[in-house]
Amino acid sequence: NVLAAIALPEVIITDPRGKRTILKPVERSPFLEPYSGTKYLYLARLSGASVGGTYQVLVSSRSAQPVEAVVAVGDREVSGRVVP
């Protein structure tokens, strides 16, 4: 939680129609993932109506320092496994 905002990753979301939305870090709110007990920070959030189809999500570093990133989609979490 000590990295400068410029060192944090940027997320670019492209919707099925080609519209691009850029998410830059605007917050550092703590979040405890209850199933694994892992601590995360919210860096940016996006909510609103979406269009159906396949989205492209690109997470890119804005510095030479590696930063791990986790992307979550949805508004609730349920235990279980992901089925492709």
pLDDT, one tens digit per residue, over 31-52 is 888 888 999 989 999 998 999 9
Residues 26, 44 contacting (CB under 8 angstroms): yes
The answer as to whether 68 is a domain residue is: no
Contacts of 11 (CB under 8 A, 6+ apart): 22, 23, 44, 57, 58, 59, 60, 69, 71
Q: pLDDT value at position 16?
A: 97
Count of structural domains within the chain: 1
DSSP category for residue 6: G
Q: Is residue 52 part of a domain?
A: yes
Query: Is residue 75 domain-resident?
Result: no
Give the chain's residues under pLDDT 70.
1, 82, 84
* Structural domain of 16: 5-60
pTM over 0.75? The answer is: yes
Place of tokens 């235990």: 79
Mean pLDDT of the chain: 86
